[in-house]
Amino acid sequence: MFTRTNGRKSDSLDATFSYPEASKSDTARIESISPRSALITDQVEIKGTLAFDGSLEFNGTFEGEIISQGTLSIGAEAVIKAEIHAAKVILKGKVQGNITATESIELCDQAELFGDVRTAKFIVAETATFRGRSDPIEGKAAAPEFSPVFRRLSTKSGK
């Protein structure tokens, strides 16, 4: 129940919420289907540092830094200007900033990324826009050694 007095500066807002009871079997089933995930809608604007665990689908506007050991899904309506550090990043919207992902970065159709990436696996859709550098995370991929082998071609003089 919400109560409010008539518009004075000392107004207070009291709220009482009740949640339905959930049995242990329902809770276990829900956790096994979707463990620790959250959604931020396109009506949200955030500035600062965003840190989370698990999975996050972000559809709003963000400026700052995003840090996670989980999966960050950036929706098609999202506009982000940030340094991003996560295990996995799936991009459908627009990002300006560098992304470091320990597992993978995926740019889906119509995604736009303006910044450098460091990851073990980098997937770019044909219709995505990427402008920046991509480097593998150390220890995950290395350039092959190039050691030219020159052979002396023997010439046979038959004369």
The ranges assigned to domains in the chain are 35-131
- Average pLDDT (33-62) is 87
Which whole number is the average pLDDT over 95-121?
97
Alpha-carbon span 57 to 77, nearest angstrom: 11
Which DSSP letter does residue 4 get? -
Predicted confidence at residue 119, as pLDDT, reads 96
Tokens 């959930």 -> residue = 22
Q: Which segment of 83-92, 107-116, 129-138 scores lowest on mean pLDDT? A: 129-138
- If one compares 24 and 149, the residue with the highest pLDDT of the two is 149
41 token code pair: 């809608």
> So what's the pLDDT on residue 144?
58
> What was the pLDDT predicted at 153?
61
Q: Residue 37: its pLDDT value, please?
A: 82
CB 69 within 8 A of CB 51: no
**Number of C-beta neighbours around residue 71 at 10 A:** 19
pLDDT digits (tens, 9 = 90+) for 58-89: 999 999 999 999 999 999 999 999 999 999 99
Does residue 40 have a pLDDT over 80?
yes
Q: What is the mean pLDDT of residues 114-121?
A: 96
Q: How confident is the model at residue 32 (pLDDT cuts 50, 70, 90)?
A: very low
List, in order, residues 6 or more apart from 34 with CB less than 8 Å away.
Answer: 55
pLDDT for res 159: 52
- Give the confidence band of 138 by pLDDT, cuts at 50, 70, 90: confident
- Structure confidence at residue 10 (pLDDT): 42
Position with higher pLDDT, 27 vs 117: 117
